[in-house]
Amino acid sequence: MLVTRCFHYAVSHTMGRCSLRRLVVVIATLSVMATITFFIYSLSLDSPGLPGIKQGQLVKLRARQRQLEEGMTPLMEKHESADSDQALLFHHAQEGNVEGFKSIRNKNFDVRIMNSNVVREKTPSKGKKSKLSEKMSWPDKRKGDKGRQVAKVHSPKHRSQRLDEFMGVTNPLAVPRIAEYCNIPVREVRGREGEAPPGYSLKSVYLIVRHGDRSPMGSFKNSPNPILSCQHDSSKKFDIPNFDKFVSTMQYYQSHLHPGNTFPFHLYPRSQTCESSELTGQGSLQHLLTGWHLHERYVQKWRLFSEPFSPSQVYVKSTGYSRTYQSAIALLYTFLPALNLTDLNIFRSDNLFFCSEKSFGHSCSCPVLKHYKKMSDGEAGAYDRNNTDLKRVRQYIANVYNIKRQELPWLWSMIDTLMAYACHKISLPCNKNNDCIEPSFLAELWHQLDLHGARLDELDSYQKYARLGIHPLLYEIKQHMVLTTKKKAKVKFVLYSGHDTTVSPLATALGIGHGRWPKYATRIAFELYSREEPKKHHFLRILMNGEDVTSRVSFCKGQAKSGFCKLKYFVEFVQKENLSLFNGKTYAQACEMPTTH
């Protein structure tokens, strides 16, 4: 009403005789009107029950959300919409969104908005002060918070970026690093395998894979691991020919295997509950999807195998574990034009690096490998022992499990166990006081493991371990490629089914690993091409999880053109450069234990 009267007064007087005095009065009146209107409008936009949160903050949120949708932040990359919504809840809370605030309460923590700062407060359990709250070393002693442990998320002194970024996220798979590692088979596998312009011809492919999702190797003291199914899930529907016949096909071949088969395992996951380190049904699906993707790229597109297809065109090696054996079979089932396990033999490797004395021409014994591995672990572990952030998170987890920090397994083993929950969408562990492992702390553990791996990857001792260990495998691949160029090899596809301890040293030797723990069903492909220009040349493409990394590989840097690297650079690398850290010594000499004086 006041605004209306002021406006009427201004207009009625302006319509009369103009004068400078009256003009000044009108301008002043309009200014007062604008100020009053803005004040009333601001009051109407305050969030009830949460003083200090203005509509302007929601405008910031919308801008933030647009950035997320446009891919301007890594938090939203490579995730399905459900996981993205979980991740966005945290940003809603940070920007003062009331609905976001209401959505992220859980049984462990209340997330509250205080003067545009996110604050996390331990929820009391039945009136008792939580043991976890007592031991947390991130107190906030502001007035009015006596008797409560409150941690400021935005305190750089006591908080890490991961705890900031993912505080309030309830779904671990909303954390990109966790989702990447789990590699849940919810959609088709993608990648750039088999991409080449006209004029190139695909000659052979060499694939090194890590097994699929498995049950944990260890456990926390006095705490059983979650119960997982190690049974192939036939209810999953994928657009893959004969996918629904996988189990019946495996059941047939279980009693019709190649006479040279030495693996004492079932051909696919069939146990209702997992024992330690067994391939899960999810792990089997990962490789079934990978096999079909590669079938489309190599078999359908390039006609890699000559017709009629014969198992003699395929060579397969697996380490002596059920998880690697079953992973190889799942991949072959969807990849090959036809899988005949009566005619196709899968060779067993007794070491993680697939060294074969027959193909390598030397003894596979290399005593110094353990020496370099122990040395590198000790050097990288020295930093972890003085890492304050890691100590805090370890103490938090120890409190949840009600054990001493010294009784926790080491970093890798903790993550390995906790990922069994995250990758199978099981609630993270809680104790009797409802103190739980939160996704933000699991994200911090992953960050610390990646830091550990990056430090490890830079150590001279680990470089020696990786290059020396993987050398027999690289030698075998190189030898077969050379035979292929001379048309002396019938095999067109070679598969090595191994472990993270196979893939990681290989990635380090190639200069593409950076110490990151490889996800389940990780794959590294070596593609051999020929091209007439006008003289025939042979080229390599190297891909990791479908990403073309040829130009980043150590022996192809500065040499790759249009994504292709001449085969001769790989040959020179294997024959000379890979063992350059050992001062020109041969493999046998480099494997000898160093003498101490």
Q: Which residues are catalytic?
A: 211, 500
Residue 286 CB: number of other CB atoms within 10 A?
Answer: 29
Q: What angle do CA 259, 265, 271 make, to 5 degrees?
A: 145
Amino acid at 506: L
Look up tokens 């079979």; give the residue.
329
Query: CA–CA distance from 95 to each of 85, 91, 109, 482 (Å)?
Result: 15, 6, 18, 60
Which amino acid is residue 459, in one-letter code?
L
- Omega of the bond prior to 176 within 30 degrees of 0, cis? no
- Give the integer Cα–Cα distance in Å for 277 and 419: 13
- For 80-133, the three-class secondary structure string (H helix, E strand, C coil) is CHHHHHHHHHHHHHHCCCHHHHHHCCCCCEEEEEECCEEEEEECCECCECCHHH
Per residue in 367-386, is it b (16+ CB within 10 Å) or e — as a string?
A: ebbeebbebbbebbeeebee
Alpha-carbon dihedral 417, 513, 459, 461, rounded to 10 degrees: 80
Burial 144-177 (b: 16+ CB within 10 A, else e): eeeeebbbbbeeeebbbebbbbbbbbbbbbbbbb
CB of 571 within 8 A of CB of 349?
A: no
Burial of 65 (0-12, 13-18, 19+ CB in 10 A): middle
| 3-state SS, residue 270 | strand
- Judging by beta carbons within 10 Å of its beta carbon (0-12, 13-18, 19+), is residue 198 exposed, middle or buried? exposed
Distance from chain centroid for Cα 416: 13
- Torsions phi, psi for 168 (to 5 deg): 100, -15
The CA distance from 413 to 417, in Å, is 6
CA torsion angle 457 462 468 470 (round to 10): -40
Using CA atoms, how far residue 63 sits from 92, 96, 165, 423, 450, in Å, is 11, 13, 18, 32, 31
d(CA 337, CA 150): 61
